[in-house]
Amino acid sequence: MREMPSCARVTRQHALQQMSLDFPVEKKTPSRMHAKKKIEELEAEPKGICRAETKKTVRSFYSQPVCVSLTPRSPRKSPCKNPLSLNGSSSSPKKKRGLKSSTDEPDENVVSIVEKRQLPLQLCKPDVSAYDSVKVALHSSVGAPLIGREMEISFLHDFISENLRKKNSASLYVSGPPGTGKTASINHILENFKDDLPAHKAILINCMAVKNVSSVYFHIAKGLDGAFPCQKGEKETITWIENKITCSRNPILLVLDEVDQLSSRRQEILYRIFQWPLLPSSRLILIGVANALDLTDRMLPWLQGCVAARPQLFHFKSYSKDQILDILRARLDQAGDSQNVFHPLALRFLASKIAGRAGDIRMALDVCRRAVNLAEAKAKEQLVLQPVSNGKGQCQKLPLKEIGIREVSSLYDEATGSSVANLISGSSHEMPLQQKLAVATLLLITKGTKSKETTISKWHEVFRRVCDKRSVEGVSPSEFVHLVSLLDSHGILALKKKKDVRLSLASLRLDEGEVENARNHFMKLLKDDLLKPTAIAAIETLLYYMEHDQ
């Protein structure tokens, strides 16, 4: 069969357009009469090569099936060899559907394309279920294998088992920055010793949870004997405990977590407890845990004078970048994070940031959890146009967007207080004036003091004085507690909550440099005249206080 001229291998529609034929382009089986008429019209016009070819095209178009492409202007890679056949080189689905193949055998590729195109699209909510297990695994209170604390656990284990075996009394003070796994390690060890120590011989008390410092005796007595009557007085309780630890045949393990909370003006409670192991025939193994490296030196200087009374010291170092990364990865693995919720670089970035800042794994876990919460909330708001699988009306599962460095970085800034400076200084007045003043008051209270925390009642007292001085409206104690909880929700504060909320300890999540920045920002606000006169007056007062230490 004669090869069809290339010019003829254009689409029917295209050919007709090019030839300016006023022929209905959708019409697929035009009548021969009409075709003849068109050819006659063409013949009446001046002749040319293309005109002749066009005539042939039109003839062939009307006389027999044509090889038609639906994309006329793009060069055909594999031209249709047999213009009468639709098999082989042609793959246009439309052609398949519109014109019957000479062999009637379906081309699989074409069919699959056709099927894909036919899959209905639907606006679907992305499947965010993968976030659930990740959030649980990242929760810092969830029991997880302790990574990178082998040496510390081994030391604590040896200390306890050695003294248990020898039935010795002993005391140990464990220090370490926040979130370095002290409590988690102690819990892990107590779990290991569960079989060796009957329940009433191992007592763990979180001193933060005791209502007032002297009630710690009652908690210890209750730990030693669950039936201990609660109406007994302090002195009676102390005598009862001392009898118990000196008359017991078996050693008693007493762990006081956050032991610095028992600090009082004359440290009577701490002295008494740390001297219990020295009582004649005492069976007490005492472990005190807190953050300060020098707590025993600072709070219990008298103990240092007596070698026997001096507790052994052990320090938990901050986590390194690699340890933090290992812990985070282990948590994600534990959640079966097959979808890689976090980009690996985001985790690495966070680990190095946290390691450079006291290695608090709790903060790393918090930042990750907040990032997941945000990602989940964002994903839930989105609707994605996606194919519906197998006509069952169910959306196909699409991979979730990975949490990247940007998200993690801004949440880290928020958690560490870099955003505090922004909130305080922001010319956009994002933070209400009273909150700004409250933050500034806390800066003022903690200026020049070693401890960067204060009770809410003291904070409120200073805040009230600042407000009174320059006729700025103050707030009642209950309103102030509410204001504090708002600041807490900004991630600006670190709050150590107590049962009596006014005794809760608050500190700003700012490091030294940031504190300085925050002060400078107040100066800038003053100069830029961004605030109303009353506010400026209040800030002036604050600056005065800051300069003159009240």
Helix (H) or strand (E) segment spanning residue 317: none
Q: How far apart are CA 204 and CA 58, in angstroms?
A: 96
Cα gap 533→439, rounded to integer Å:
19
Q: Nearest distance from residue 139's CB to ligand ATP, in Å?
A: 8
Instruction: Rule CB under 6 A: say whether 179 interacts with ligand ATP.
Output: yes
Q: Are 491 and 421 in contact (CB under 8 A)?
A: no
**Residues numbered 276-295 forming contacts with ligand ATP, rule: CB under 6 A:** 291
Q: How far is the CB of 386 from ligand ATP (least distance, A)?
A: 37
- By the rule CB under 6 A, 415 interacts with ligand ATP: no
Indicate whether 147 belongs to the interface with ligand ATP (CB under 6 A). yes
Q: Is 13 in the site for Mg ion (CB under 5 A)?
A: no
Nearer to Mg ion, 182 or 436 (CB): 182
Is residue 133 close enough to count as binding ligand ATP by CB under 6 A? no
* Residue window 126-165: x/- pattern of binding to Mg ion, with contact defined by CB under 5 A: ----------------------------------------
- Least distance CB 180 / ligand ATP (angstroms): 4
- Calculated CA dihedral for residues 347, 348, 350, 353, nearest 10 degrees: 170
Out of 122, 168, 183, 248, the residue judged to bind Mg ion by CB under 5 A: 183
SS (H, E, C) 419-463: HHHHHHHCCCCCCCHHHHHHHHHHHHHHCCCCCCEEEHHHHHHHH
Query: Phi first, then psi: what are they for 482, rounded to 5°?
Result: -65, -45
Residue 187 or residue 422: which is nearer to Mg ion going by CB? 187
393, two tokens: 């009306």
Taking the C-alpha atoms of residue 217 and residue 235, their distance in angstroms, rounded to an integer, is: 9
Q: Residue 369 binds which entry of Mg ion, ligand ATP, none, with Cβ cut-offs from 5 to 8 Å by kind?
A: none
Closer CB to ligand ATP, 193 or 228, in the complex: 193
Please state the closest distance from residue 257 (CB atom) to Mg ion, in A: 6
- CA 86/CA 199 separation, integer angstroms: 85
d(CA 295, CA 458): 24
Please report, as residue ranges, which positions from 335 to 364 form the binding site for ligand ATP (by CB under 6 A).
Answer: 361-362
Dist. CA 303–CA 126, nearest whole Å: 62
Region near Mg ion per CB under 5 A, out of 58-66, 183-191, 263-271, 533-541: 183-191
Q: What is the SS3 assignment for 530?
A: coil
Told to check if 180 binds ligand ATP by CB under 6 A, we report yes
- In the complex, the residues that contact Mg ion under the rule CB under 5 A are 182-183
- In the complex, the residues that contact ligand ATP under the rule CB under 6 A are 140-141, 144, 146-149, 176, 178-184, 291, 327, 361-362
